[in-house]
Structures are given as C-alpha cells and as structure tokens.
Amino acid sequence: MKACFRSIVSLLPAAVLAVAPLSSAAWDYEGHRMVNQIALASLPKDFPAFVREPAAAERIAFLSGEADRWRNSPDAALRHVNEPDHFFDLEDLQPHGLSLTNLNPFRHVFTVALAEGRKANPSAVPAVSEARNQNQNRQLIGFLPWSIAENYAKLKSGFSYLKAFEENGTPDEIENAKQNIVYIMGVMGHYAGDAAQPLHTTRHYNGWVGANPSGYATNTTFHSWIDGGFNIRSGLQLEELSGKVRPAKALFDTIAPPNRPHDVFSVAVGFIVAQHAMVEPLYQLEKERKLSGETGTEAEGKAFMGGQLLKGGQFLGDLWITAWKEATPDTFLKAQLIKRKLGGKGR
Ligand SMILES: [Zn+2]
C-alpha cells in the first residue's frame, strides 16, 4: 500500500528498485480475506445463494487481494490509477482548503478542487518531488471513499443486469452476470478492508510525522507491522471473529431514492472518519507496548485488530446487501432482450 510505496522507495537502492516489486498490503492478504469472509458470513439467507457456493465464496475471498496485486505491477498506467484508491489522508484536506463538509462525490471534480487548492495554498501543501513522482500521483491525498462508492455502483449495476437476464436472457448470459457480480464483490471488498485500517486514513500512515507531543512511534516499519506482522504474531484467526458477526443490513432504507447514490459516498466518508478516530488509540497501544508481539502483552492489540477487521467485514456486507436491494432491473437491457425474444435486434 502507499505507506510501503513511500517508505520503501526511500530506503532501497535504485538497483533493487529496478527489479523488486514495491509490494505490500493494507491488511496483508490474510486480513483482507478475513474481511471478505466476514462479509459473506453476514449475508442473510435471502441474498442470492450463488455467492455462497464454495467456488464463488473462495473466489470472493481470493479477490480481496486483487487491488494489492495490481500494486505490484511495474506499469505506470496501472500504478497511477490504482495506488491512490487505497487510502484517504484526512488531515491533508485542510491545507488544500477542503473539508469533509465540501467533498465532491465525483472523483474528477474533487481532483480538480484538490489541484486548485494546491495552487491557492502553495505554502501549506507539501511540495512533491517530480524526480520521485514517476506515477504522477504523489500530489493526491487518496480516493478511498470514491473507490468504494464507484465499486458499489458497479455491483448495483451487476445486480440490475442480472435481474434483466434472469427474466429474458440465456443461461450463459445469466451465468456470466453472476460471475461478474462475484468478481466485483471480491474486488470491492479490498477497499472496505483498507477503510478499516486506521493507517489508511491518515498522513501518519507509517510512523507519526510532524509535531509529536504524545511521543508516538515514528519508525517506518509500523505500517507493515499493523498490516500483518502483529496479526501473525498474535495468531488472530477468522474463527475468533465469526461468532461476533451481525447480519448485514441495508445502509439507508429510510432515505429517498434520488439521493442514494451520493449517500453511499457519504456513508463511506463517515466510515473512514470513524476509523480515523482510531489512529491515536492505535499509536497509544503501540506506546504502551501492547503491540510489541511479546508473549502475554498481545490481548488488547489483538482485540483492537480483530475489531477493525470485523468492522470492515460488516461494512462490506452492508454495502453488498444495499447494492442488491437497491438494484432494479436494467430497463434498457430488458427492452432489448424482449425485442430479441420477439425476433427483433437484441444486443
Ligand atoms: Zn489496499
């Protein structure tokens, strides 16, 4: 994830960088798998059963790691677009003249506002070294809530066209639509998992930076330790969390439909803000040596990490069920399929 991207770049010699993928995760793959599996466990019985078939469930779990696999690509086009999708550094809004109250739910409109804010506040915004900005994304502060909202919309679209195909499509079309849904559910789970990792919401993503009155850790191994090192050491297992999973619930049954697409963005921002509030408690745990991994000290840290993974999984399950419930049959496709059935031209 970006933390390791930034920190590893500064530590490794150029020769190593040329061959080594700058890999890492938010949560490591194991943590992301848990998030997707918790979300699957939260789905009620009336949710489409095909997602729970063993092959589909395993694919959804596997795809939790997909967005991090993309991070290992040497291709700048993919790195440019993928890397900022994993985080959103909330403290960096204010120096750009932005705030949580004026965030635009459209990614590109927000990007323009960010660029304008950078231009208008040159002394407040950290300079970006062009020599270290090969992928042209270091001036960004992250797109995590946009990424969640856009993937939600893709999933909703998937359920919409599945519904149309189920009414008037061929068995192959129905099967393809189902496979697409499984794919989107799996991939979007990564971002819900990232949002549950407090270090993905802050400029203190890999050790505290700047003024540090509380004396928090500044070491640049902190992020990778929280991503997975500590969880491995503490032996955190999915089974310990499964008993705590509550049934998924739709995010906003009470809000009028026209506002709902933007509401998913707002819900995602709200979730990220809530996890941002866990940044200092996380650093505090480290300060109290409850994340040291030393035997006998791990209970509180393990509960904290398990709690965050659980929150990510529940958030994801709620997004999935909302997309399913909100999806109405794709009317354009439906008309085309009916036309095809009647002997006219379909698509
Ligand atoms: Zn990530």
Its pTM stands at 0.89
CB 301 within 8 A of CB 185: no
Å from CA of 194 to ligand 1 middle: 5
Q: What pLDDT score was predicted for residue 16?
A: 34
Helix segments in 72-143, DSSP class H = 76-82, 107-120
Average pLDDT over residues 306-327: 96
Å from CA of 64 to ligand 1 middle: 9
- What is the residue-wise DSSP string for 248-305? P--S-TTS-GGGHHHHHHHHHHHHHHHHHTTHHHHHHHHHTTTTS--TTS-HHHHHHH
Å from CA of 293 to ligand 1 middle: 23
Taking only the tens place, the pLDDT of each residue in 22-70 is 333 458 999 999 999 999 999 999 999 999 999 999 999 999 999 999 9
The angle subtended at Cα 316 by Cα 226 and Cα 225, nearest 5°, is: 5
Å from CA of 225 to ligand 1 middle: 15
Taking only the tens place, the pLDDT of each residue in 67-111 is 999 999 999 999 999 999 999 999 999 999 999 988 999 999 999
Å from CA of 68 to ligand 1 middle: 5
Å from CA of 200 to ligand 1 middle: 8
- List the domain boundaries for the chain: 2-341
On the question of pLDDT at 6 being above 70, the answer is no
Å from CA of 226 to ligand 1 middle: 13
- Token couple for 36: 């997707």
**CATH architecture of the domain with range 2-341:** Orthogonal Bundle (1.10)
Distance separating alpha carbons of residues 125 and 63, to the nearest angstrom: 36
User: Distance of CA 100 to CAs 125, 141, 176, Å?
Assistant: 17, 13, 39
Q: What pLDDT score was predicted for residue 344?
A: 58
What are the φ and ψ backbone dihedral angles of 201, each rounded to 5 degrees? -120, 10
Closest CA to 227 of 241, 210, 206, 242: 206
Å from CA of 77 to ligand 1 middle: 17
Taking only the tens place, the pLDDT of each residue in 271-311 is 999 999 999 999 999 999 888 888 788 888 889 999 999 99
Å from CA of 304 to ligand 1 middle: 19
Å from CA of 187 to ligand 1 middle: 11
